Amino acid sequence: MDSRSIEELSLNHWPSLSTLVYDGWLLRFANGYTKRANSISPIYGSTYDLQRKMDDCEKMYRDQRLPVIYKITPFVHPVNLDEVLGERGYSQLDITSVQVLDLEHVRQPQLQGVKVSEEADPAWIHAFCAINRVKEEHKATMVTMLGNIKARKALISLYADGRAIACGCGVLERGYMGLFDIVTDPVYRNQGYAEQMILHLLQWGKQHGARHSYLAVVANNAPARRLYEKLGYTEIYRYWYRVKGMGERATHRYIQK
């Protein structure tokens, strides 16, 4: 599978609440929960006047009281869009590494004590929101987005000391298992729990037909990158965001990471 197909899978596997297709660009809206679901993905051919088109996009996001965010991948149209956005005053945020793994020789997990469900039950939602510090105002949106995933999914929790201390999500489509929102309680980090949970999630994927896995990790997240390298993931492309007239701190006031 080529890299752009991986990008399409990632859009399917982390759906917005609504999507507007505008001359090859996908404008995604999800009440401000995550940049991925509240940004413009300009990955298909574009024919309209660029400056007017960008004006229109800015108005649509302003009308939703959201910052204007573009997701810049190697597949953008037009190809000079990142340069144009920089000239227009958009700042760059969150350089991210997209990585893949062949599951043929993935290791078996050693720790047990996991729970896997194909639906977001209340226990998983509570544990995930607590560990990932999801704002109360975003919980309903998060639950709706999970319900909007049409491909087969697995929601996993790993337990220690009688409670869930790590959570994650995997989505399976076309033989690829995408990993999302792998989070561990800070007290239990750097002890191998996330690795064991991911191995359980990958084994679930293999049992249901996955042959490969992919994920996205922020490039400056050194602990996470070390973990994924240990598991065997390798980078295939990078993306980043361009945000209109706002720094990272200001953006995070409006967008749940």
Quick: pLDDT tens for 103-151.
Answer: 998 999 887 888 999 988 899 999 999 999 999 999 999 899 999 999 9
Residue 48 confidence (pLDDT) above 80: yes
Residues contacting 118, CB < 8 A, separation 6+: 152, 153, 154, 155
In CATH, the number for domain 3-95+239-254 is 3.40.630
pLDDT of residue 253: 46
Alpha carbon distance 83, 70 (integer Å): 12
Residue type, 119: E
User: In the numeric block, which tokens belong to residue 197?
Assistant: 């949970």
- Check the CA dihedral 121-126-131-135 and report its sign: positive
Residue type, 17: L
- Closest C-alpha to 239, from 70, 105, 124: 70
Alpha carbon distance 91, 56 (integer Å): 19
Alpha carbon distance 164, 14 (integer Å): 23
Predicted TM-score (pTM) of the model is: 0.90
Alpha carbon distance 128, 131 (integer Å): 5
Length of the chain: 257
Distance of CA 86 to the CA centre of its chain: 24
Q: Which residue has the tokens 């070390």?
A: 226
CATH 3.40.630.30 boundaries in the chain: 101-237
Task: Write down the CATH superfamily of domain 101-237.
Answer: Gcn5-related N-acetyltransferase (GNAT) (3.40.630.30)
Residues contacting 202, CB < 8 A, separation 6+: 101, 103, 106, 170, 177, 210, 213
pLDDT digits (tens, 9 = 90+) for 78-93: 999 999 999 999 999 9
